[in-house]
Structure 1
Amino acid sequence: MSAGNFNLEISVKGHGTHAGNRGAAIRAGGEGPSAGVNAVEKLIKVVQALQDLEQEWGITKRHPAFPPGLFSLVPGVFHGDVGVPSVGYMADHAYVGYLVWYAPQEDPEAVKAEIERHVHHAAQLDPWLRENPPTFSWRSHWPVADVSTEHPLVDVLVRSRSAVLGPPPAGRPATASFNAVSDASFLQAQGIPAIVLGPGNIRYAHAVDERLNMREWRECARIYARAIAEWCGTAD
């Protein structure tokens, strides 16, 4: 089982101007937004609002198969400028990119609506954002993967794993959630049951020192071979 996720981009516009106009733009007695609005600072307010929502999710969004806190809003990209990458201006546009993890039991459209509603409410507290609301671009969706632990293929893989590695320690479950995503989601969308089982440690995934233990790789090949033979009825 794996959670679903969205690739979300949130954009904010400002009023780009020379950095020398900052005082007039933000200080009492100045011209205010007509002198300039820094989109970067306005976008920071959106990020802070979503950090509050993420903290709320840590309490309210749970699933017995997943560790606490997995369902989250991960800001991975933040960018703003006035058309050139220079600190000599106040940015007239900015965007932040998020990876949004949601629980298997949730309606994806409801998750999207919750995020947009939360940002909208936060924007109402800022005069500029109230008149120039953030815009949302839902760039991709990776659906949930969920195969019942009662599916016969699960039994085959558990037996094959035990035959190669020995039975798991007492009290440790034979199956667990996958705290990432894989092509299993898209296979299942086509009606093909798919289960994730493989070597490696997610702590090294997409890292500068990404690596794989070759012993685990060889063991996994043996597990696959046993499972294929049993599933196809040629175990003998």
Structure 2
Amino acid sequence: VNAIDIAARFLIALKEFESSRCRNRQHPLLPPGMNTINVGAMRAGAGLGPDGLPLIMTNPAIIPDVAVIDLDYKFLPNQTKEFIRGEFEEFVHHFCQQDLWLRENPIKVEWELGGLHFPPMDTSPEHPIAQSLMSRRAQLGGKPKISGMIAVVDGAHYAGAGVGSVICGATGDGFHGVDEYVDIASLEETTKTLAASIIDWCGVK
């Protein structure tokens, strides 16, 4: 039984599973197709090391009995991790049922690789803090709009703790690059907007 052969078949099935999710489910504040499953790393070989990875990955004469696939699983803000995990594990189960060997040796699924998990964040546009930010920004002459964001943010942890959160910041470009910058005028406008919304939120007259 060649683990790489099984992994190759699994990746084909995974692509179809991902496509069906992207086609059939969307969020009103996000562009279609953002709920992806990205295969970021795959390591295969012989023997299982104490770190959960293959011991030998350089000998083509050995039939590989271990394949480890790392995925980045993006789901929609209005979905729960319990639903997503249950659905994915059901997909893996059905895949394994189609193979005589995998029925007895099913694929093992591990979540929160490296301790990473960001809860879904789906704050309503009608939330008081969102409305305050929109109103205050408009008062300052801006043209604010509410949209979703495809990124990892600390606000997700607040959302996971039941705290309504929004993302509001200055404009710029070159994100995560050597020439990353923020527009100074936008920074000033954002600072004034946040200060005014803090006054609204705290009830200060």
TM-score of Structure 1 vs Structure 2, range by shorter chain? 0.7 to 0.9
1:226 match: 196
**Matched residue of 2:120: which SS?**
coil
Check 1:78–1:146 CA distance in 2 against 1; reply closer, same or farther (3 A cut). same
Structure 2 partner of 1:158: 134
- For the residue of structure 2 that corresponds to 1:198, the secondary structure is coil
Give secondary structure in 2 for the equivalent of 1:144.
coil
Larger radius of gyration: 1
Aligned partner of residue 67 in structure 2, secondary structure:
strand
One of 178, 186, 191 as aligned partner of 2:157:
186
* Residue 118 of structure 1: aligned partner: 91
Aligned to 1:65: 29
- Range moving further from structure 2, 41-50 or 127-136: 127-136
Q: CA deviation at 1:136?
A: 0.4
When the two structures are superposed, what TM-score results if normalisation uses the length of structure 2?
0.77
- Pick from 188, 195, 203 the counterpart of residue 166 of structure 2: 195
Q: 1:41 to 1:193 in 2, by over 3 A?
A: same
Q: Residue 80 of structure 1 contacts residue 91 of structure 1 at CA under 8 Å; is this kept in 2?
A: yes
Distance 1:149 1:124, change over 3 A: same
TM-superposition CA deviations, 1:151-205 (whole Å, max 9, x none)? 221122112323446225xxxxx2111222322232234343221112357x965
The aligned amino acid for 1:68 is P
Partner amino acid, structure 2, of 1:57 = R
Aligned to 2:109, the other structure's residue is in SS state strand
Question: Which residue identity does 2:17 align to in structure 1?
Answer: L
Question: How far does residue 104 in structure 1 lie from its aligned partner after superposition?
Answer: 3.3
Aligned partner letter, 2:27: H
Partner deviation per Cα, 1:210-230 (whole Å, 9 max, x = no partner): 723343444433432333344
Aligned-pair identity in percent equals: 26
CA RMSD of aligned residues (A): 2.8
CA apart distance, 1:51: 0.6
Counterpart amino acid of residue 58 in structure 2: S
Query: Contact between 2:136 and 2:197, CA under 8 Å: does it hold in 1?
Result: yes
Matching residue's letter, 1:212: Y
The alignment of Structure 1 onto Structure 2 pairs a total of residues equal to 192
Q: Please identify which structure carries the higher strand content.
A: 1
Aligned to 1:143: 119
Q: Residues 77-120 of structure 1, C-alpha deviation per residue, up to 9 Å, x if partnerless?
A: 21122213314333321111112222233343222122122122
Which residue of 1 is the match for residue 102 of structure 2?
Answer: 129
Distance 1:150 1:213 in 2: 28
Unmatched runs of 5 consecutive residues or more in structure 2: 47-54
CA distance in 2, matches of 1:210, 1:52: 38
1:29 aligns with none
Q: Report the CA distance between 1:126 and its aligned residue.
A: 3.2
Larger RCO (CA within 8 A; separation ≥ 6): 1
Distance in 2 (CA, whole Å) between partners of 1:204 and 1:40 is 38
Q: Report the alpha carbon displacement of residue 234 of structure 1 after superposing the two structures with TM.
A: 5.3
Give the AA of the match of 1:220.
Answer: T
**Residues 200 and 97 of structure 1, relative CA distance in 2, 3 Å threshold:** farther
Taking the TM superposition and a 5 Å limit, the aligned residue runs for 1:42-81 are: 42-81=6-45
Counterparts in 2 of 1:107 and 1:151: CA distance versus 1, 3 Å = closer
- 1:21-72 CA distances to partner (integer Å, 9 max, x unpaired)? xxxxxxxxxxxx4xxx2x2232122221111001111221122222111122
